[in-house]
């Protein structure tokens, strides 16, 4: 079992932190082998941002994504760019606040206005990353919800922990009711 | 030119953040290709922590460390573990607060009571990671100091930014006066 997750959007959307929390949930709390990566090159300087998580029950030889099993796209640009590398039967979750055009794709597709909800429901657009994680884990079961909660508890400073816990629970709820639109 | 940097210690010492700041300095501000990685497995669950940064002027094929050029070790355990993978002519920087025994090594070796200074001079042991970065960049010139300052500015929340800026400048100062002890 090797699973590859790509969290994509633009700089400042907290995707590295989301990748670290997902990786620690799988690696420290759920007991898998995990490698978490960010790459910087010309595209990073153009504002595109992605964070990669590879989870396996065996030692990981190649630590970067070959073909994603799961893609989160918070921006239209990221969606266009990274869907090319998503497996045919993969899972795509898009933030419909920005992603209004979903390229043709045969796998499972979920959409929700994540950033809009972060602002309207949680009062802070910076938690769109954590809502996304909640949705992603609810629909994919890639790690246990318990592990994700524990990783969040460790990684988020106390001052903003309650807000982020609420964002995570909100994400679980949204995920429970989301329907594959393909 | 391919340079591999290993930042090691125990969980909670802020080594992932240090890796991200170093990676963003090189990748976003200095214009290199960079991959930044953390791995989780049995050793992470035992409390050892390391963050890897690979910097190159060409596209990076293999994104993880093969043989480190630079090793930061904040704990004795990490020093023993990761020195085995340090190049013979590499650079070792240890925090002598915890690392009291330096294994035989022919490259350049620097030591300083980093955590002790973080507490005594800066009043907060959590900035040992940033002091370390300052020392490391001063002695190795692996990225420009300007790029490192810019990356820190972006990555550190405003509330604790001044403290971290001071820690970085303090690290530069310490690095300027450190002598290779081999």
**Residue A63, token pair as written in the block:** 């630590």
The secondary structure element, H or E, covering residue B64 is none
User: How far are the Cα atoms of A54, A85, B90 from residue A65, in angstroms, in the given order?
Assistant: 7, 9, 30
Grade residue A99 by pLDDT with cuts at 50, 70 and 90. very high
**What one-character DSSP code corresponds to residue B60?**
-
- Work out the burial of residue B119: count CB atoms within 10 Å of its CB; fewer than 13 is exposed, 13-18 middle, 19 or more buried: middle
Query: A46-71 burial by CB neighbour count: b if 16+ within 10 A, else e?
Result: eebbbbbbbbbeeebeebbbeebbbb
Count of CA atoms in the C-beta half-sphere (13 A) of B157: 8
For B46-93, how does the pLDDT look when each residue is reduced to its tens digit (9 = 90+)?
677 899 999 999 999 999 999 999 999 999 999 999 999 999 999 999
* Structural domain contains residue A6: yes
With CB atoms and an 8 Å threshold, state whether A36 touches B37: yes
**Is residue B125 assigned to a domain?**
yes
Q: How far apart are CA A39 and CA A45, in angstroms?
A: 11
Most A CBs within 10 Å, among B24, B32, B40, B59, to test the A interface = B40
Query: For all residues of chain A together, what is the average pLDDT?
Result: 95
Instruction: Classify residue A171: in a domain, yes or no.
Output: yes
Determine contact: A40 vs chain B, CB below 8 A: yes
Mean per-residue pLDDT for A9-38? 95
A78: helix, strand or coil: helix
- Domain of A94? 2-177
What whole-number distance in Å separates Cα of residue A138 and Cα of residue A174?
9
Kindly indicate the confidence band of residue A45, based on its pLDDT and cuts at 50, 70 and 90: low
Give yes or no for a contact between B107 and B89, defined as CB atoms under 8 angstroms apart.
Answer: yes
**Strand order, beta sheet including B2-10:** A108-112, A86-95, A68-73, A2-10, A48-56, A33-40, B33-40, B48-56, B2-10, B68-73, B86-95, B108-112
* DSSP labels, A57-110: SS--SS-S-SSEEEEEESSHHHHHHHGGGEEEEEEEEEETTT---PPP-SSEEE
Provide the pLDDT for residue A41: 84
Q: Does B155 fall in a domain? A: yes
User: Which chain B residues have a beta carbon less than 8 Å from that of A63?
Assistant: 37, 39, 63-64
User: Which tokens in the block code for residue B73?
Assistant: 């070790």
Residue B169 belongs to a domain: yes
Task: Check residue A74 and give its pLDDT.
Answer: 98
pLDDT at B44 over 80: no
The pLDDT assigned to A46 comes to 67
Can you say whether the dihedral through the CA atoms of B116, A21, A123, A126 is positive or negative? Answer: positive
- Asked whether the predicted pLDDT for residue B145 surpasses 90, the reply is yes
Element at B68 (helix H, strand E): strand B68-73
Residue whose structure tokens are 């998580």: A53
pLDDT at A177 over 70: yes
Q: Check which CATH number belongs to the domain holding B128 and give it.
A: 3.40.920.10
Segment A101-155, tens digit of pLDDT: 999 999 999 999 999 999 999 999 999 999 999 999 999 999 999 999 999 999 9
How far apart are alpha carbons B16 and B36 in whole angstroms? 9
Number of domains composing chain A: 1
Residue A182 within any structural domain of the chain = no
pLDDT at B11 over 90: no
Q: Is residue A45 part of a domain?
A: yes
User: Which of 53-112 (B) contact A at CB < 8 A?
Assistant: 59-60, 63-64
Residues of chain A with pLDDT > 90, as a percent, come to 93
B152 is a domain residue: yes
Give the span between the Cα atoms of A104 and A87, in whole angstroms: 13
Q: What is the pTM of this model?
A: 0.95
Closest approach of B31 to chain A, Cα-based (Å)? 7
DSSP result, B7-39: EEEETTS-HHHHHHHHHHIIIIIS--EEEEEEE
């Amino acid at each position: 079992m090797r699973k590859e997750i790509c969290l994509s959007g633009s700089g400042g959307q907290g995707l590295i932190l989301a990748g670290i929390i997902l990786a620690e949930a799988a690696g420290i709390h759920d007991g898998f082998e995990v490698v978490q990566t960010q790459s910087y090159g010309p595209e990073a300087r153009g504002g595109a941002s992605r964070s990669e998580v590879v989870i396996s029950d065996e030692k990981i030889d190649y630590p970067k994504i070959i073909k994603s099993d799961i893609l989160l796209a918070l921006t239209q640009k990221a969606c266009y760019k990274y869907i090319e590398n998503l497996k045919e039967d993969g899972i795509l979750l898009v933030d419909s606040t920005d992603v209004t055009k979903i390229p043709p794709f045969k796998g499972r597709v979920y959409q929700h206005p994540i950033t809009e909800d972060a602002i309207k429901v949680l009062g802070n657009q910076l938690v769109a990353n954590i809502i996304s994680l909640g949705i992603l884990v609810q629909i994919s079961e890639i790690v246990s919800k318990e592990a994700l909660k524990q990783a969040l508890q460790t990684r988020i400073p106390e001052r903003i922990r309650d807000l982020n816990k609420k964002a995570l629970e909100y994400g679980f709820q949204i995920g429970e009711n989301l329907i594959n639109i393909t």
